[in-house]
Structures are given as structure tokens and as C-alpha cells.
């Protein structure tokens, strides 16, 4: 059993799909403190105020898309080094080059098995 006095790493999940968000929250809550946002504006605000160990970010969201959030994260001195995993339903060929240019740690396409996403996040947080 983990020591309750040890602080768990914080991850932020930004996805406009409530069901997806809840599924990921449940999957990660045993190992991490999980913060979540249903839109890019809230996600960016949480990233700035909480400085999570990693961010799981959807790209296709209304109002403010994931690319806009990612650019804001990368140009902010307090958030620029936070590892980001893009988790999207978009075709990977269309986004991989842009993701690489913006320093994304990994790009996974929905529906990737949760265990695979967990392993990617675990490796990133461990660094």
C-alpha cells in the first residue's frame, strides 16, 4: 500500500468528452492526483495554477482547441516544460509533425487502450 504521506504526481486531463474524461480519471486516480478540464480555456488555467507533472490533451475541442492550448503552454515560462501527451481521434499523420514542432512527448490516437496511455504517462512522469 502506498505511503499516504508521499505526494502523488499530478496529471491534468483536458478533453471535451465527459465520458472520456471520467474513464481516464478512474484509470489514473490510483497512481496520480488527477485534475481535469472539459475545455481548453479551463485546461490552460489549471496548467498555469497547478503546474502538473504531465498533461493529457485532446486536440479537437470547441471554443479553444488543443493546438491553441499547447501553444499557450509552450510560450508561458511557468508551463513551457510540462510534458504533454496528445490523445486524439484525429488521424495521426495529420498532426504528428506539428506535435513534434511543439515538443509533445507522445501522440496517441483514440481509442488507444488505457493501459498503453498509462504506460506512456508513467514513463514521462518518471523522467
> Domains of the chain: which residue ranges?
10-126
Read off the pLDDT of residues 83-102 as tens digits, 9 standing for 90 and up. Answer: 999 988 877 787 888 888 88
Confidence of residue 108 (pLDDT cuts 50, 70, 90): confident
Q: Which has the closest alpha carbon to 73: 38, 49, 108, 107?
A: 49
Q: Which CATH superfamily is domain 10-126 in?
A: Response regulator (3.40.50.2300)
Q: By three-state DSSP, how is residue 108 classified?
A: strand
Burial of 54 (0-12, 13-18, 19+ CB in 10 A): buried
Indicate whether 1 pLDDT > 50: no
48, 12 Cβ separation under 8 angstroms: no
43, 37 Cβ separation under 8 angstroms: yes
Return the C-alpha cell found at 59. 486536440
Q: What residues pair up with 84 in beta bridges, in sequence order?
A: 55
Residue 22: the pLDDT is 93
Please tell me the distance from the alpha carbon of residue 100 to that of residue 29, in angstroms, as a whole number: 28
Read off the pLDDT of residues 53-79 as tens digits, 9 standing for 90 and up. Answer: 999 999 988 889 999 999 999 999 999
Q: pTM for the full model?
A: 0.89
Q: What is the mean pLDDT of the chain?
A: 89
Tell me the CA distances in angstroms from 106 to 5, 52, 102, 117, one per residue in order. 31, 16, 11, 9
Amino acid at each position: 500500500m502506498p505511503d499516504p504521506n508521499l505526494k502523488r504526481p499530478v496529471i491534468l486531463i483536458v478533453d471535451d468528452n465527459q465520458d472520456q474524461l471520467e474513464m481516464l480519471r478512474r484509470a489514473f486516480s490510483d497512481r496520480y492526483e488527477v485534475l481535469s478540464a472539459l475545455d481548453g480555456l479551463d485546461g490552460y488555467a489549471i496548467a498555469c495554477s497547478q503546474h502538473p507533472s504531465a498533461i493529457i490533451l485532446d486536440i479537437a475541442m470547441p471554443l479553444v482547441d488543443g493546438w491553441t492550448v499547447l501553444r499557450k503552454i509552450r510560450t508561458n515560462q511557468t508551463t513551457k516544460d510540462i510534458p504533454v501527451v496528445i490523445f486524439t481521434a484525429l488521424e495521426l499523420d495529420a498532426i504528428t509533425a506539428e506535435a513534434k514542432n511543439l515538443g509533445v512527448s507522445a501522440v496517441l490516437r483514440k481509442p488507444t487502450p488505457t493501459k498503453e496511455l498509462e504506460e506512456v504517462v508513467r514513463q514521462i512522469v518518471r523522467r
